[in-house]
């Protein structure tokens, strides 16, 4: 029988050992180290060992603490967003789009707000792709527009309108003060205001700090987390826009 209750693993199985890192707004000295241990104790790490401390500019210190926790994880209570669509090859994606849609599937991608980190959106859209898997520009039945970085929400909406986009892909890496959440809500609200439901493109966001279960809360159709491949996104587009009968007629 598969275990449903597990504990962290450090040196030996089930010993409960964990390692955490954090920064405190204090200069590095003995008092700062004591503060780091106190914080770790209050987090339930006890005994806590300070294994690394480094001054990070004026008045800040970065710490790494190692120690034991008594917390357990109940795997049966873990809730995740499972993939609910089949993975297709590039050849299969092209075939379905050509046969069922009978025109190219239009995709517009961008990093919005002040986000200038295009690595994520480029990995999904550019031909070179990621990890040996080619991006959506490689798919001959997809028409891809990559707007790049620091695109305003009004610019994105207009570009999607001009391209008659079936899907809009947005990558968000900047997360300070939950900027990725605010930007996503602003984007979804702008599309709802600018386009009627029947003509609104599929809204997809991705980034390392998103919770995939927040799609409905943020007003988007899908959230992809770290490690997502171009093939997964292409397969989802086919599932949501064609087999799900959301595609606009030509």
* Catalytic positions, written as ranges: 128
Burial pattern 75-105, b for ≥16 Cβ within 10 A else e, equals eeeeeeeeeeeeebebeebbebbeeebeebb
User: What's the first-to-final CA gap in the chain, in angstroms?
Assistant: 53
Residue 87 contacts residue 235 (beta carbons within 8 Å)? yes
Two structure tokens written together for 3: 């275990």
∠ CA 237-158-136 to the nearest 5 degrees? 30
Nearest residue to 52 via CA among 21, 81, 30: 21
Long-range contacts of range 197-203, CB-CB < 8 Å, 24 or more positions apart?
198/248, 199/248, 201/108, 201/160, 201/165, 201/166, 201/167, 201/168, 202/166, 202/167, 202/168, 202/237, 202/240, 202/241, 202/246, 203/167, 203/168, 203/170
């Amino acid at each position: 029988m598969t275990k449903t209750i597990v504990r962290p693993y450090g040196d030996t199985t089930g010993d409960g050992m964990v390692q955490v890192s954090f920064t405190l707004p204090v200069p590095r000295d003995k008092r700062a180290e004591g503060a780091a241990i106190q914080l770790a104790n209050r987090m339930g790490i006890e005994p806590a060992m300070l294994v690394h401390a480094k001054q990070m500019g004026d008045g800040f210190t970065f710490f790494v603490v190692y120690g034991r926790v008594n917390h357990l994880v109940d795997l049966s209570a873990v809730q995740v967003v499972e993939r609910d669509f089949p993975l297709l090859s590039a050849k299969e994606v092209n075939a379905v789009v050509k046969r069922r849609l009978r025109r190219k599937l239009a995709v517009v991608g961008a990093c919005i707000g002040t986000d200038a980190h295009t690595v994520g959106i480029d990995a999904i859209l550019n031909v070179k792709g990621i990890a040996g898997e080619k991006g959506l520009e490689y798919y001959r039945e997809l028409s891809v527009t990559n707007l790049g970085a620091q695109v305003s929400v009004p610019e994105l909406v207009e570009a999607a309108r001009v391209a008659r986009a079936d899907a809009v892909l947005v990558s968000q890496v900047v997360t300070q003060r939950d900027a990725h959440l605010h930007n996503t809500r602003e984007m979804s609200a702008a599309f709802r205001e600018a386009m009627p439901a029947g003509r609104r493109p599929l809204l997809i966001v991705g980034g390392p700090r998103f919770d995939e279960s927040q799609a409905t809360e943020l007003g988007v159709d899908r959230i992809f987390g770290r490690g997502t491949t171009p093939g997964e996104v292409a397969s989802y587009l086919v599932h949501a826009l064609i087999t799900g009968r959301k595609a606009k007629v030509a």
